[in-house]
Amino acid sequence: VAFAIGSSWTTVGTLGVAFVGIGAGLGVPAPMTVGAVLSGAYAGDKQSPLSDTTNLAAGVTNTDLYAHIRRMRTGTAIAFGLAALGFAALGLRTSGTIPAGRIAEIQGGLTETYAITVVAFVPLVVTFGLALRGYAALPTLVAGVFAGAFTTILLQGTGFVAAWEIFMYGTAPESASETVNDLLATGGLTGSAWTITVVVAALSLGGILERTGVLAVIAHAFTSAVRSPGALVAGTGVSAIFINALTSQQYMSIVLPGVTLRNTYDEFGLDTDQLSRAVEAAGTPTGALFPWHAGAVYMAGVTGVPTLEYAPYYLFAFLSPLVLFAMAATGYTIDANPVSADAGAEAGEPATPTPGGDD
């Protein structure tokens, strides 16, 4: 669900709450259920082309959106797979029955509000089909919007004016299920306004810092102890986690290192998707581990489980940066220009890539 709608917060605040209730009926401790919910929600959020943090990481690092998603794919799959194995092992220790009434409530809310047929999947197929075929993000999302408007008019009997309002302001279903209403009350162009504002502000800040020479000073101080591309990637991940803890905002954990280290990655012969992968792998999922972080406050509030109680079970938050650090240490998927990287190591600072070199 988080992959489809691009929001971990919405997923946890709706289906996550329902799963906590289901878990209680099965005899599963609430912190364990919340940890599993957060692991799945953030893993799906990271890989979704509709996610605000995914678009933000690609935007501030000047990386193609789908190149960014492809670069994260291996690390996310490994971290999520290990988390799933961990939860499977934990699940063997519990047993119970599923409360069918809660599931029936969600199904009833969907069927009474929407005409659910195969045609309803057309927008999803169009969007992800074009994405998998390598089309650019903008035409892919525009095609998905038009496909969604067409199916809305065809299946729901919605007029053109109402379809336009959905495009601008998102959906607001009024079913008998509050879970369905909260889950699907999302979308719309205005819903993306904050992300767009943050990207523009971040790029503006980056331009100012670059013109004044501040970025060069910060980057040189950061890379003075860095001797390899892998160390740079690992250091980026550490800085993202540190900024998360310091600022209590996952956006800042992406924006600050993303803007500051772009030129440094060029000097080490690394593509910008390495930078975008590092800031999101370490920045996006780890915020909910810090009790004072905005994400942790929200997650604890909607689930009713304190941060320090669910944190030990939030396996994906630990595994995502650990997998990143392991890849950095071994050089796996760290594709750098060896000439630039070696030159930087010998000089004690990153060297400029050879013109025309293959990054």
Q: What is the DSSP string of 37-68?
A: HHHHHHHHHHH-TT-HHHHHHHHHTT--HHHH
Average pLDDT score over the chain: 79
**329 inside domain:** yes
Considering the domain boundaries, does residue 161 fall inside one?
A: no
The boundaries of the domain holding residue 271 are 1-103+193-359
**Residue in the structure block whose two tokens are 């992406």:** 254
Please report the pLDDT score of residue 137 as a whole number.
61
CA distance 344 to 185: 50
Spatial distance between the Cα atoms of 17 and 102, rounded to a whole number of angstroms: 11
pLDDT value at 350 more than 50: no
CA–CA gap between residue 261 and residue 240 (Å, rounded): 12
Is position 81 within any domain?
yes
Q: Is the pLDDT reported for residue 199 higher than 80? A: no
- Rounded Cα gap, residues 302 and 286, in angstroms: 18
Question: Could you tell me if residue 141 is inside a domain?
Answer: no
Per-residue buried b or exposed e for 27-50, using 16+ beta carbons within 10 Å of the residue's own CB = ebbbbbbbbbbbbbbbbbbbbbbb
325 found inside a domain: yes
Over pLDDT 90: what percentage of the chain?
19
Is the model more confident about 24 or about 61?
Answer: 61
| Domain-located, residue 211 | yes
Residues 244-302: pLDDT tens digits? 888 777 888 888 888 888 888 888 888 999 999 999 999 999 989 998 888 888 888 87
Q: How many CB atoms lie under 10 A from the CB of residue 58?
A: 26
Predicted pLDDT at 112:
76
List the structure tokens of 328: 């950095």
- pLDDT surpasses 70 at 136: no
Evaluate whether residue 297 is within a structural domain: yes
Inform me whether the pLDDT recorded for 327 exceeds 90: yes
Residues sharing a CB contact under 8 Å with residue 208, sequence separation 6 or more, in sequence order:
none
Mean pLDDT lowest among 50-54, 75-79, 341-345:
341-345
The confidence band for 353, taking pLDDT boundaries of 50, 70 and 90, is very low
**Segment 190-195 mean pLDDT:** 65
Q: How far is CA 166 from CA 9, 118, 173, 217, in A?
A: 21, 21, 11, 47
In a domain, 345, yes or no: yes
Q: How confident is the model at residue 309 (pLDDT cuts 50, 70, 90)?
A: very high
Count: domains in the chain: 1
